[in-house]
Chain A
Amino acid sequence: MAETTFESTPDLLLDHDRVEQGDLQTEELLVNMGPQHPSTHGVLRIVLRTDGEMVLEAEPHIGYLHRCAEKIGESVQPYQYIPYTDRMDYIAGMNNNQAFAIAIERLCGVEVPERAKRIRVIMAELNRIASHLVALGTYGLDMGAFTPFTWCFREREMILDLFEAACGARLTYSYITVGGVHDDLPDGWVERCEEFLDFFEPKIVDYNNLLSFNHIFVKRTATVGVITAEDALAFGLTGAALRATGVRWDLRKVTPYDGYEDYDFDIPIGQDGGIDGVPRGVVTGDCWSRYYVRILEMTQSVRIMRQALKRLEEGPIEAKKVKGIKLPADEVYVEIENPRGQLGFYVQGDGSAIPARVKARGPSFCNLAITSHTCRDILLADVPAIIGSLDVVLGEVDR
């Protein structure tokens, strides 16, 4: 039997003065949660300093999935770089494609055709629903409920079928390219998409009945991991995590892109429990609010898509002469609303066809930063609750 001492792993110590061999008052344990752990959603490693079931401190360690995604952008042409953006946030490939495409279009002044814009919106919202479905399903899994996961994935499969019909890929689409979209929609796609929306909307009620308003689930998530609006702004939180704190901030409304200004939709925000069907005990900015904002956003996405499908007209789907376009010696920074938050791309051109610098601002990366702030003096079971409610994708955090 090996004698285990904590001194043998000094790099894990978060606060040296509190974990000492001679200290008999605090019986603290350093636990590695991840990189191989069922609820870290990939290869996140969180070092927990625990006292029994209490987690005193949690420190996320990232970088296990680093693939030099930004550096690659400096050696390939923009349209060649689109597939790499898929692999950042692999749950929401369409939105990543869109962000980079818009950045290059703004830099080069490319005008995107109307039909392409509509298709982009449809695809982005479909992918937002797919991404939120993954978030909800895995959040149920984090809470120990297995069934919501398969129910959500059942509907996500249909969205992936739609994507597959449009672009041939089910995960890494590379569908939205610089200047438009890669292919036109196949025959019957619009009708099928409408059929899906009709099928999908009642399912949201099912999710609510199964998970959202489940008493145990509300007890597990309400008032857990509360983030105030000030903290959220100070840490640069975006997306559902920010809106759950009561800040009505959505780039689709604030700085519309790809024609989002034409659509009529609301921005759901988190609110205290007791009104509007929100269960009692819920506090603005807790895990339940973050979860429920995603549910509400799916409804809004359906609304946007219905409008976009109605306004879809025949026309070109791609701007002309964008392959091999020379980037001007200028710089641009564009942020769009990704399912997880604000995804920004900074691109600097130097007159050649290859960017001089590409930099991404990932919403998961920024949202993850608040982990160690929120995961203080909580129970061990709350750590997956908080991490899951932030909905991070490690492919994008590590890039």
Chain B
Amino acid sequence: MSQFAVPWREKPEPSHGFVSSFIVALAKGIYAIATPIVTRFPGSILLSAVVASCFLVWAHALLFSYVDTAVLERAAEVGAANPNAFGYFSPSTWGLPPSVIGTLLAGDAAVEGQSPGLLSYLLWPVQFGFTRDMIAFGAIFAWFNIVPVYVIWWERKVAGRIQSRLGPMRVGGWHGWAQSPADGIKLVLKEDFIPDAADSILFRAAPYFAIIPSALAFVALPFGVTYIFREVDVALVFILAMLGIEVMSVILGGWASNNKWSVYGGMREACQMVAYEIPMGMALLVPVVCVGSLSLKYIGEVQADGWFSWLAFRNPFAFVAFVTYFIASLASCKRAPFDLPEAESELVAGFLTEYSGFRWALFFFAEYAAMFVVGGLATIMFLGGWNSPIPSDWGAGLGESIWAKGLKGILFSGPIWFILKCVFFLFLQLWVRWTLPRIRLDQVLYACVQVLLPLTMVLLFGTTLWVWASESGNATWDVIASIVSKVLGIVGLAFGFGFVAIAGYGFYHRRRLVGNLVIDPLPGS
């Protein structure tokens, strides 16, 4: 208690509930245990975490497909041969009991009378879609949480390097690896503040309008051929819809804050998003026209023949559409140079001005998750999705054993490639943000309506003609098209290598930016 009387009413000291204290204690405990270990072995931990998560994901996929082939399909065969084989239990309603699974695994046609082994009990829950959903949901939910937390940390490190400083270095020891979780805990434990004059219901609701659509976008986003939570035949449109709904949160948050700067932020977001959804969607239609499907799984599957089969290199229009889409996607995620809704130097913090604590964190989670989703769309629509640059038929000689499948999952296609490409796009977004100034609102709209929109229309028309010409079966045209595709692929390769070279050069020369003037003490002073 303060010993001086203050003229305002003092708030009572907040008493921390059990949950808050528990979170703090847990975090402190984890931190105390993890910090020395991470500081000691950062590289090995990072590597083993990546390997372990890859292995975990792969093991799950293997388990599911094993149950599918060894149990469910066999049960269907047996059921087709003898409709009364399972008695009361039918695979479609209540699932197969462990005893039946044991029989099927044993390969015995006679179903009754087998005693189930331990394996049968372990496999029993996997046959249900609900169990698989729960596992997949856990994976998606974990990913949805890990991405924002670690992309924020990574962004701060990248920003630090670009600005010739270090970024977070303290929390957790090794390069401040625990900075983002620590920030998250701080934000959760902060005062729950709502301005008096705000529309408190909408103010509370707005962050959920941001977080729920960006989480739902992960429902239809494929990480690999079999790594999809739900395969939706219109996955592309669905994800675009989710990205479009997110705008509502900004507008509502801006309006409900009852702050003029927030309203400005909301109005800018509305302008920008409604305008940029069109070129973004049209740019995405270019590969759709090439492939003829809106299913992201199918679009990914047709790009399995290595680098030159990726859609961005199929025809020149798709190549330009790729660039167009990247620009429009920056605007859709309100990333710099399109970060007008939260333009710090103009609107204080735009729609986020009155937000703090957990709600603010939700907005940021949604933004970074949306960045990943947008990068994922670019990856699937233009850069081969989960396929590696190596053509997948090169692996035909490996055979079909489990280990060959695992090797193929790493070498030719798999979630690891998808995530790597998404990370590349995330890095591009970060790089752009920390390099470019912000565009003015009229220039944003000019660029959309006068430049991107006509351009994407031309691209759409051109790619339609290209596809039409390709489908006509003219041999000369096919030769020309394949040459153009190769040239585009080589240009893309040059861009890729250039990117790596520039980033590597910058990283290699990072210390020279500081110079020795600051460090050396003055002689004789």
Contacts and interface: CB of A to CB of B under 8 A. Distances in A.
Q: Do chains A and B touch in the complex (CB under 8 A)?
A: yes
Interface of A: 1-2, 4, 29, 31, 37-39, 52-53, 140-147, 149-151, 154, 157-158, 161, 165, 186-189, 192, 195-196, 199, 210-211, 214, 216-217, 219-220, 379-384
Nearest to A218: B437
A151 B164 contact: yes
Contacts of A29: 260
A393 B503 CA distance: 38
19 contacts: A1-B197, A2-B258, A31-B260, A37-B348, A39-B345, A39-B346, A53-B441, A144-B345, A144-B437, A146-B159, A146-B163, A149-B163, A154-B513, A158-B515, A161-B518, A188-B524, A210-B435, A216-B438, A379-B441
Nearest to B513: A154
Interface string B161-182: 0111100000000000000000
Contact of B348 (A38, A142, A199): A38
A29 B163 CA distance: 38
B435 A145 contact: yes
Interface stretch (B53-61, B319-327, B336-344, B470-478): B336-344
A37 B344 CA distance: 9
A72 B115 CA distance: 100
B440 interface: yes
A145 B436 contact: yes
A4 B257 CA distance: 13
A31 B259 CA distance: 10
Contacts of A219: 439-440, 443
| Chain B interface residue number, banded | 35 or more
Given A151-B164, A384-B346, A144 B517 contact: no
B434 interface: yes
Contacts of A146: 159, 163, 434
Contact of B517 (A143, A145, A192, A217): A192
A186 B524 contact: yes
6 pairs of A and B residues whose beta carbons are closest in the complex: A144-B438, A187-B524, A150-B163, A143-B437, A39-B345, A145-B437
Contacts of A151: 163-164
Is chain B's interface secondary structure helix, strand, loop, or mixed overall?
Answer: loop
Given A53-B268, A187-B525, A192-B517, 20 more contacts: A31-B260, A31-B261, A38-B344, A39-B345, A53-B264, A144-B339, A144-B345, A149-B163, A186-B522, A188-B523, A188-B525, A195-B517, A216-B439, A220-B439, A220-B443, A379-B441, A381-B340, A381-B343, A381-B346, A384-B346
Given A144-B337, A187-B523, A196-B517, A214 B348 contact: no
B334 to A, nearest CB: 12
A192 B522 contact: yes
Given A1-B197, A196-B517, A144 B164 contact: no
B514 interface: yes
Interface of B: 159, 162-165, 196-197, 199, 258, 260-261, 264, 267-268, 336-337, 339-340, 343-348, 434-443, 513-515, 517-518, 522-525
Contacts of B434: 146-147
Is chain A's interface secondary structure helix, strand, loop, or mixed overall?
Answer: helix
A53 B345 CA distance: 15
Contact of B345 (A143, A186, A210, A217): A143
B524 A150 contact: no
Contacts of A142: 345
B437 A211 contact: yes
Contact of B437 (A2, A189, A220): A220
Contacts of A217: 437
A161 B525 CA distance: 12
Nearest to A140: B437
Nearest to A192: B522
Nearest to A142: B345
A380 B341 CA distance: 13
Contacts of A220: 437-440, 443
B443 A161 contact: no
A380 B260 CA distance: 13
A274 B122 CA distance: 76
Contacts of B264: 53, 380
A372 to B, nearest CB: 18
Given A141-B345, A379-B440, A154 B514 contact: yes
Contacts of A199: 515, 517
A30 to B, nearest CB: 8
A194 to B, nearest CB: 11
A149 B163 CA distance: 8
Given A39-B345, A144-B344, A158 B522 contact: no
Contact of B440 (A38, A195, A382): A382
A165 B348 CA distance: 38
B345 A384 contact: yes
Contacts of B268: 53
A295 to B, nearest CB: 16
Contact of A143 (B162, B164, B438): B438
Nearest to A196: B517
Nearest to A144: B438
B345 A38 contact: yes
In this complex, which of A195, A211, A381 has the most chain B Cβ atoms within 10 angstroms of its Cβ?
A: A381
A214 B436 contact: yes
B163 A2 contact: no
Contacts of B435: 145, 147, 210
A149 B437 CA distance: 12
Nearest to A31: B260
Contacts of A143: 345, 437-438
Contacts of B344: 38-39, 144
B439 A150 contact: no
In this complex, which of A2, A4, A144 has the most chain B Cβ atoms within 10 angstroms of its Cβ?
A: A144
Contacts of B196: 2
In this complex, which of A143, A187, A199, A211 has the most chain B Cβ atoms within 10 angstroms of its Cβ?
A: A143
B197 A216 contact: no
Contacts of A1: 197, 199, 258
A52 B439 CA distance: 17
A180 B163 CA distance: 39
A217 B196 CA distance: 39
A37 B259 CA distance: 14
Given A151-B163, A165-B522, A220-B437, A2 B197 contact: yes
